[in-house]
Amino acid sequence: MNDQKMFCFVYDNTVFSHVQKRIPERTLKALHALKKQGDLVVMSTGRDLFDPSSAGYAGQIGADAVVHCNGLKITVGDEIFYEHFFDEVLLENAFEYAEEHKIILGAVTPDAVYFTHDETLRDNEYFKYGLGRDFRPFRDVYGQKVHALCFLGEEPQIRQLADACPGIHYYMFAGGSGADVLDVDISKADGIEQLLKHYGMQWKDVVAFGDSTNDIEMLRRAGVGVAMGNATERVKKAADVVTGDIEQDGLADAVFGRYLR
């Protein structure tokens, strides 16, 4: 009987440590061990993992597939399997509203960063990764292909934006300091659903690891949903298992302790 599993891992704060600014060594060994025994390793993230800021780390993992941008882009190997871009009219409306109402909203492309009120961001820790971010006027992104937007601030502001611009959907970051902004009601789980059909597998074959609100549907639908120790309480309640914090090798402990045959 084929006992192959699909292991779905969130990137930020599950695989990639923002404290260490790297993928912990034991985490990387755990991912490679799963691939070696014939399981599928899928990364599931709110960002575009092929973006230059992430591509080096993504290459270390060698994932079989990636669900990028909360399901707006899916790659199998190096090939694009599915892709959706933000509606251009809605994007412009959202940016203009954000500019007028002092809301920090932006887009990141491989070449530059485009944010309203970017003067408040230049010294912000959010961008202190030694990347030399090139901030450009936000209107310069109009007409470009963008998968999703990024909001920085508290939830009442992004709720205000969503109310003013029908069609906006958002997922708050785990720390509550911002959100991924989408133009469709889609999730990481929707992306995984497409991959399951592609590989001829079912949700019972999935073991999913996550830490944030946008991981909840994925954790609930998976055969086994694993919440990281650093996950929010709401995420932990949605999971079947809670492992250790990322800084305590929680992912590696779960994989080495439970899932290597």
CATH number, domain with residue 24: 3.40.50.1000
pLDDT of residue 99: 97
Q: Which domain holds residue 233?
A: 6-84+186-259
For 180-194, write each residue's pLDDT tens digit: 999 999 999 999 999
What's the whole-number mean pLDDT along residues 118-143?
73
Residue 133 has pLDDT above 80, yes or no: no
Q: How confident is the model at residue 159 (pLDDT cuts 50, 70, 90)?
A: very high
Beta carbons within 10 angstroms of residue 31's beta carbon: 24
| Same domain flag for 46 and 111 | no
Residue 128 has pLDDT above 80, yes or no: no
* Residue where a domain stops, chosen among 182, 216, 235: 182
| Same domain flag for 73 and 16 | yes
pLDDT of residue 175: 74
- What b/e string do you get for 98-130 counting C-beta neighbours within 10 Å, with b at 16 or more? bbeeebbbbbbbeeebbbbbbeebeeeeebeee
| Same domain flag for 23 and 58 | yes
Q: What is the CATH number of the domain that holds 109?
A: 3.30.1240.10
Residue 41 has pLDDT above 50, yes or no: yes
β-strand pairing of 149-152 with 104-108:
antiparallel
3-state secondary structure of 24: coil
* pLDDT > 90 fraction of the chain, expressed in percent and rounded: 79
**Both tokens of residue 132?**
């030399």
Q: How confident is the model at residue 111 (pLDDT cuts 50, 70, 90)?
A: confident
* Residue where a domain stops, chosen among 113, 148, 182: 182
Q: Helix H segments across the chain?
A: 25-36, 52-61, 88-100, 155-164, 188-199, 216-221, 233-238, 250-254
The candidate with the shortest Cα–Cα distance to 138, out of 125, 154, 163, 121, is: 121
What's the whole-number mean pLDDT along residues 3-7?
95
